[in-house]
Amino acid sequence: MTHKTLYDKIWDSHLAHINAETGEALLFIDLHLIHEVTTPQAFAGLKAAGRNVRRPDLTLATADHNTPTENQAAGLEGVKDEQARTQLEMLSKNVKEHGIEFYPMGHINNGIVHVVGPEQGRTQPGMTIVCGDSHTSTHGAFGALAHGIGTSEVEHVLATQTLRARKMKNMAVRVSGKFQDGVGAKDLALHLISVIGTAGGTGSVMEFMGEAIEAMSMEARMTLCNLSIEGGARAGLVAPDETTFDYIKGRPSAPKAGQWDAALSYWKTLFSDEDAHWDEVVEIRAEDVAPTVTWGTSPEQALPLSADAPIPSEISDPIKRAAAERALDYMGIEAGKPLKDLKIDRVFIGSCTNSRIEDFRAAAEIVKGKKVADGVRAMAVPGSGLVNAQAEEEGLDQIFVEAGFEWREPGCSMCLGMNPDTLAPQERCASTSNRNFEGRQGRGGRTHLLSPVLAAKAAIAGVLGG
Amino acid sequence: MKKTFSRHSGVAAPLLIDNIDTDQIIPSREMKTVSKEGLGEGLFAGWRYTEVGGREPNQEFVLNQNSKIDSTILIAGSNFGCGSSREHAVWALSEYGIRVILAVSFGEIFHANCLRNGILAVSLSQDNIDALANASNEGEITVDLVEQTVSAASIKDWKCDFEIGAYPKKMLMEGLCPIEMTLTNEKAIDAFLQVDKETRPWVYTV
């Protein structure tokens, strides 16, 4: 018995060097995912120093943040925003120069970086995975240590295939029991963040465990780990199991036949030992998690959909009270009013949090044979070309289109207001994305985070609580 | 050019809101550049200007007040820099002239990004943050990295200590390049690879 957590095991197996005095380690990186927005300065830095990419074979590129979600067949010439086009062109040039595999806009494998890695089988248990994007935590769903890094660190990983890191703390989130019908990973994540706060996991790797987690699909685990960063934890983890192995098997970059058995035996050692030490433990009963939405401008400002908006004068903590006042004012919500009655203008089903096939299946079940409410503009945006193709094969795209949704082409879309898909000031949006920050989806836009099921219901009803 | 840090005195602007995320520090629409330059203008764009893409100053915003326009220090609440990993937030702060951020706590990726760009990000208690925010209206704030203290011109005989690891302190003081430092360990990386290729061959045969 080794008394180690899953995180301890992955950390130990990737230590290329550690400075005994300072605790500063060099962690070997198994997979470096890159995209157009956070890499141009890193490649420029490499060039200026006369360095090369150390392991292009362990690097994978896709274009996602800036790409428009319509008319992608027109290629880069069709990208109207000149600066966005320059970033996309720069990525194409840099990957070509360094021999890095790249799925450009319009390629069947193109899509959101955190959808692409897993669906290609590049994301595997026990790996270390980094990307210049905070939602890299998504890949923790496979039992991989995965987190976001800044552009200076991107340059460091390109040059050395290592990351300078310090050991983080171990936090366990145990979720017992079974969820109520229609409640799932998104509701759990928002509920958890509302309990521990957006800084609750700061300095920790958050491992999710327990009956409710074991019962989850890979898509649900990805949603959950994706949102661990919104709870302050750079990385989330779920120990790999049969669900994980079944998901990986047969994917293009899964270990080949001669290596599959060896990989599988290795992966089966990746779990937290029973007597491992936890710096912090959070216990949640799945039955206690309600369908959950955010009402404010921080992911911790979340409540059950059946609740009323908070009344700031009833909040005793002065900082939290001021934050609530500010958020209600920005969101245009009257204190104490039922959240479910809020009239919405827009619906967005997509983003690295919720744009996988299971998300669209769940939403399609709700909208099938129904119509989007008058005055609501609803968008469904698949996370990748492959999700799009699968949805088309299952006829899901038609279900959305017949209901009055726009079925668009893959990309980050309206999650971050960086491409043409944005909210107008004061527009209220039911969104399956990950951040309800002020202006995140467009200046003055009002974002309510929720699950694909709740977003679909809202689209039909025209109010948040459909 | 190496950017080093030892001691800094300057005008400090209080922004006492918790959870100021990197989307507030620089909105995504302001970061479609391929260089580290030109981002200072986009700093706090959503709060600093009256319109999207416009440059008409919003007089309500602290950095637009005459006494604070030349701020080199920011004073903030909890979880400053949470959210997106965008280093553009740090480049924008740096270009604006910010050298130090004093906050109750920081988003982790942001904190790491500050270190790599010569910005000193210091965690202090809420009480000390409040005291310094008040004092910032009456004179300069001084941050001494060597001594690990923060003091205010307007509070006589007062200073507070802060903690910083030996490695980040050295990095800031000497303006070290992490890639150069790592490359001195190249043999250790090669040795790791030799062994790991035997243990996990499937990782290296994509």
Residue A144 CA to residue A125 CA, distance in Å, equals 5
Residue A397 CA to residue A300 CA, distance in Å, equals 33
Cβ neighbours, 10 Å, residue B15: 20
- Whether the pLDDT of residue A97 is over 80: the answer is yes
Query: What is the arithmetic mean of pLDDT over A94-114?
Result: 98
* Residues of chain B with C-beta less than 8 angstroms from the C-beta of A155: 179
CA A356 to chain centre: 11
Select from A20, A266, A14, A254 the least CA-distant residue to A157: A14
What's the pLDDT score for residue A303? 98
Collect all residues with Cβ–Cβ distance below 8 Å to A314 and sequence separation of at least 6: none
What's the pLDDT score for residue A1? 59
Is there a contact between A26 and B29 if contact means CB atoms under 8 Å apart?
no
* Residues of chain A with C-beta less than 8 angstroms from the C-beta of B206: 57-58, 122, 253
Largest CA distance in chain A: 65
**b (16+ CB within 10 A) / e for A388-400:** bebbeeeebbebb
- Whether the pLDDT of residue A153 is over 60: the answer is yes
- Whether the pLDDT of residue A268 is over 80: the answer is yes
Of A17, A65, A124, the CB nearest to B188: A17
What's the pLDDT score for residue B20? 97
Of A84, A134, A260, the CB nearest to B109: A134
Is there a contact between B189 and A58 if contact means CB atoms under 8 Å apart?
no
Residue A274 main-chain phi, psi, to 5 deg:
-60, -35
- Residue A59 forms beta bridges with which residues? A32
If you average pLDDT over every residue of chain A, what do you get? 97
Question: Helix/strand/coil (H, E, C) string of chain A?
Answer: CCCCCHHHHHHHCCEEEECCCCCCEEEECCEEEECCCCCHHHHHHHHHHCCCCCCHHHEEEECCCCCCCCCHHHHHHHCCCHHHHHHHHHHHHHHHHHCCEEECCCCCCCECHHHHHHHCCCCCCCCEEEECCHHHHHHHHHCCEEEECCHHHHHHHHHHCEEEECCCEEEEEEEECCCCCCCCHHHHHHHHHHHHCCCCCCCEEEEEECHHHHCCCHHHHHHHHHHHHHHCCCEEEECCCHHHHHHHCCCCCCCCHHHHHHHHHHHCCCCCCCCCCCCEEEEEEHHHCCCEEECCCCCCCEEECCCECCCHHHCCCHHHHHHHHHHHHHHCCCCCCEHHHCECCEEEECCCCCCCHHHHHHHHHHHCCCCCCCCCEEEECCCEHHHHHHHHHCCHHHHHHHHCCEECCCCCHHHCCCCCCCCCCCCEEEECCCCCCCCCCCCCCEEEECCHHHHHHHHHHCECCC
Residue A229 CA to residue A236 CA, distance in Å, equals 8
Task: Check: pTM over 0.95? Answer yes or no.
Answer: yes
- Whether the pLDDT of residue A141 is over 60: the answer is yes
* Residues of chain B with C-beta less than 8 angstroms from the C-beta of A30: 203
* Residues of chain A with C-beta less than 8 angstroms from the C-beta of B19: 198-199, 298, 300, 323
Residue A439 main-chain phi, psi, to 5 deg:
75, 5
Select from A284, A288, A302 the least CA-distant residue to A451: A302
Collect all residues with Cβ–Cβ distance below 8 Å to A106 and sequence separation of at least 6: A72, A73, A75, A385
If you average pLDDT over every residue of chain B, what do you get? 96
Is there a contact between A199 and B84 if contact means CB atoms under 8 Å apart?
no
- Whether the pLDDT of residue B1 is over 50: the answer is no
Structure tokens at B177: 């390049």
Distance from CA of B203 to the nearest CA of A (A): 7
| Per-domain residue ranges of chain B | 7-175, 177-206
Of A15, A41, A266, the CB nearest to B35: A41
Select from A98, A112, A97, A146 the least CA-distant residue to A37: A112
* Residues of chain B with C-beta less than 8 angstroms from the C-beta of A26: 182, 185, 188-189
In this prediction, what percent of chain A has a pLDDT beyond 70? 100
Distance from CA of A372 to the nearest CA of B (A): 30
Is there a contact between B178 and A21 if contact means CB atoms under 8 Å apart?
no
Is there a contact between B34 and A86 if contact means CB atoms under 8 Å apart?
yes
pLDDT grade for A2, boundaries at 50, 70 and 90: confident
What's the pLDDT score for residue A23? 86
Of B107, B183, B203, the CB nearest to A127: B203
Of A16, A152, A438, the CB nearest to B46: A438
Residue B43 CA to residue B26 CA, distance in Å, equals 5
C-beta of residue A404 within 8 angstroms of C-beta of residue A369: no
* Residues of chain B with C-beta less than 8 angstroms from the C-beta of A21: 166
In this prediction, what percent of chain A has a pLDDT beyond 90? 98
Of A49, A150, A322, the CB nearest to B112: A150
pLDDT grade for A20, boundaries at 50, 70 and 90: confident
- Residue A60 forms beta bridges with which residues? A33, A101
What value, to the nearest 5°, has the Cα angle with vertex A136 and ends A464 and B196?
Answer: 155
What's the pLDDT score for residue A21? 84
pLDDT grade for B53, boundaries at 50, 70 and 90: confident
Q: What is the CATH number of domain B7-175?
A: 3.20.19.10
Largest CA distance in chain B: 65
Residue B86 CA to residue B107 CA, distance in Å, equals 12
Q: How many CA atoms lie within 13 A of A267 on its CB side?
A: 28
Cβ neighbours, 10 Å, residue A302: 26
- Whether the pLDDT of residue B4 is over 90: the answer is yes
Instruction: Indicate which of B23, B32, B181, B197 best probes the interface with A, i.e. most A CBs within 10 Å of its own CB.
Output: B32
Is there a contact between A443 and B117 if contact means CB atoms under 8 Å apart?
no
Of B107, B186, B206, the CB nearest to A57: B206
pLDDT in tens, A379-409: 999 999 999 999 999 999 999 999 999 999 9
* Residues of chain A with C-beta less than 8 angstroms from the C-beta of B183: 159-160
Structure tokens at A298: 């921080």
Residue B68 CA to residue B158 CA, distance in Å, equals 23
- Whether the pLDDT of residue A410 is over 80: the answer is yes
- Whether the pLDDT of residue A89 is over 80: the answer is yes
What's the pLDDT score for residue B28? 94
What's the pLDDT score for residue B2? 66
Question: Helix/strand/coil (H, E, C) string of A77-125?
Answer: HHCCCHHHHHHHHHHHHHHHHHCCEEECCCCCCCECHHHHHHHCCCCCC
Query: What is the arithmetic mean of pLDDT over A268-281?
Result: 98
C-beta of residue A188 within 8 angstroms of C-beta of residue A151: no
What's the pLDDT score for residue B138? 95
pLDDT in tens, A325-376: 999 999 999 999 999 999 999 999 999 999 999 999 999 999 999 999 999 9
A280-285 and A346-349 strand pairing: unpaired
* Residues of chain B with C-beta less than 8 angstroms from the C-beta of A263: 200, 202
What value, to the nearest 5°, has the Cα angle with vertex A166 and ends B205 and A200?
Answer: 105
Distance from CA of B164 to the nearest CA of A (A): 12
* Residues of chain B with C-beta less than 8 angstroms from the C-beta of A158: none
Query: What is the arithmetic mean of pLDDT over A430-437?
Result: 98
pLDDT in tens, A198-251: 999 999 999 999 999 999 999 999 999 999 999 999 999 999 999 999 999 999
Angle A151-160/B108-115 helices, nearest 10 degrees? 70
User: Order of strands, edge to edge, in the sheet holding A446-449?
Assistant: A406-407, A377-380, A346-349, A428-431, A446-449
Is there a contact between B82 and A149 if contact means CB atoms under 8 Å apart?
no
What's the pLDDT score for residue B206? 82
Angle A385-393/A357-367 helices, nearest 10 degrees? 40
C-beta of residue A139 within 8 angstroms of C-beta of residue A240: no
